[in-house]
Copies of this chain bind each other. A is one copy, B any other.
Amino acid sequence: MKTLSINELNNKATAPVRTKIIVKLRYFTIFPNIFETYFKLYILDYLIKFCAENEMKTILRSNFLNPVNHDKCDFLCDYCLTIDEQGKIASLEPYSEKLTGNNDRIVDLSNSVITPGFIDLHSHLPQYSAIGIGKGALLPWLSNYIIPLESKFSNEQFAHEQSVAFFNEALSFGTTTIVTYCSIHRHATSIAFETASDIGIRAFIGNSLIDLPNEAGYFSSLETIKSDIDFLVNKHHLTNSEKLQYIVTPRYAGSCTKELMSYSANFAKSNDLFIQTHLAENKSELELMKKLHPEFDNYTGIYDKTGLLTDKTLLAHCIYLDQTELAMIQNARSIVCHCPTSNRYLSSGIMPLVDYQKMGLRIGLGTDVAAGYSLSMLNEAKEAIETSKSYDISKDENGNDISAANAFYLSTKGAAENLNIADKVGTIHIGLDADLAIFDLDIKQLSANSEDILRSLIYKKFNQSAKAVLIAGKRVYGSL
């Protein structure tokens, strides 16, 4: 395969770029091994810049895994993907000599596999630094470790440092869209929006809404909350909706009054916003609901009656639900966020994923950091598969484990559909934004069977950084 000739680069490049190229090349010849990675990285940046300046396109030659549905994933071996000047996918076709005949602009990624950027439906930015710290079940774990940590987000410098660490770590694992809770603080949440914008990641971000008084003093009045929501929607949602959205975030019925939940539901409806909350994660939590909200028949009913159960509502965990509650969720077309890593970490239980899928519930995956201990969606996909086996083991059954295609779909296209952004991201198709995660994986040692290659990716790379990540065609992490 031909590469872009240096003369051609130099003739057309701008002066500062040309200077850099010449310096690198001079030393490259002296220390080829040292410079190789750096040089390739530089060349990619150069190509993107060069192509943009000349209204040309960047082409990635590689292997692609593309989700189709719960049962199917396409594998495209040795294809070329073109990114246009707007960062959209302009073409995707099998590699051929003919293609390169007129083109010197190809980046060779033959030893990689490229997937759509991953979509994490449930995470907690302020909990990032508590990964692995603390043990016990949900409610004491929250009181002993998490609330004291989240309270520290009143400090804006701390909030900034943690936001940078959180979004960068998610990006490094190939996550290009993330839905996250923040602390209760207006300014910490605003900082999270600004950081996400700077880093270039797509995000749904909401301040945790808590108005039930607690010993830690970690709550706000309903009036303050209303003002916080207005501030954040005006400052961020309405100004950067291309990549960032405000999500209404009543923490869970254990920390909200009925008034706050109703207000949240009305506000979300009036402004066409997504909502996120927690549901039926832990048995002690179920008892708490009976005590706090005795007027409702069941936990899901609290959300249903206050208007929070909509087709734009993300419900995290959903482990302990009876048939009545499942029917409410199905009727409302709310979205279940399955968080298998977290559910084991807090010994919460096992969500019956396969049963829910058979019912036709809308489902996606969430890392739920810090009860989940990794921001890697490949890890979460692996855990979704492995937890379906744990469910088998606990029932003394066998063979009901979900396929890799299913776990992959839940982490990409399925999640995009749930967030109403499947016309923009979640798959690799012409016209969609080039949100791509690139992983080193030597496919020559594997069969050309999509399930095998997907399984190999999921099990070999589950907590390892991507080689590079692009969002809307722009490299936001790694090197090529």
A binding-site residues for B, Cβ under 8 Å: 27, 31, 34, 38, 129, 131-133, 135-137, 344-345, 347, 349-350, 373-374, 379, 382, 386, 389-390, 392-394, 398-399, 401, 445-446, 452, 455-460, 462-464
Contacts and interface: CB of A to CB of B under 8 A. Distances in A.
B460 A131 contact: yes
27 contacts: A27-B27, A27-B31, A34-B34, A34-B38, A131-B456, A131-B460, A132-B456, A133-B446, A133-B452, A133-B456, A137-B399, A344-B386, A345-B389, A347-B389, A347-B393, A347-B398, A347-B401, A350-B393, A373-B459, A373-B460, A374-B459, A379-B463, A390-B393, A394-B394, A462-B463, A463-B464, A464-B464
Contacts of A137: 398-399
Contact of A463 (B132, B135, B463): B463
A393 B394 contact: yes
Contacts of A393: 344, 347, 349-350, 390, 394
A464 B382 CA distance: 16
A393 B393 CA distance: 11
Contacts of A132: 455-460
Contact of A345 (B31, B136, B386): B386
A382 B462 CA distance: 14
Contact of A131 (B38, B135, B459): B459
Interface centre among A34, A373, A394, A463 (most CB of B within 10 A): A463
A197 to B, nearest CB: 25
A271 to B, nearest CB: 37
Given A399-B136, A458-B132, A459-B132, A392 B452 contact: no
**What is the total number of copies of this protein in its complex?**
2
Given A398-B347, A458-B132, A390 B390 contact: yes
Nearest to A130: B456
A446 B133 CA distance: 9
Given A34-B38, A136-B399, A389 B344 contact: yes
A347 B401 CA distance: 9
Contacts of A460: 131-132, 373
A135 B398 CA distance: 11
Contacts of A386: 344-345
Contacts of A392: 347
Contacts of A452: 133
A456 to B, nearest CB: 5
A165 to B, nearest CB: 9
Contacts of A457: 132
A400 to B, nearest CB: 9
A347 B397 CA distance: 9
A143 B38 CA distance: 45
Nearest to A403: B135
A349 B395 CA distance: 11
A45 to B, nearest CB: 15
Contacts of A373: 382, 459-460, 462
Given A347-B398, A390-B390, A401-B347, A455 B129 contact: no
Contacts of A462: 373-374, 463
Contacts of A347: 389, 392-393, 398-399, 401
B129 A445 contact: yes
Nearest to A392: B347
A353 B126 CA distance: 34
A322 to B, nearest CB: 17
Contacts of A458: 132
Contacts of A394: 390, 393-394
A401 B382 CA distance: 22
A450 to B, nearest CB: 13
A11 to B, nearest CB: 26
A457 B131 CA distance: 10
Kindly list the 5 A-B residue pairs having the minimum CB-CB distance in the complex, ordered from nearest.
A132-B459, A463-B463, A373-B459, A132-B455, A394-B394
Contacts of A350: 393
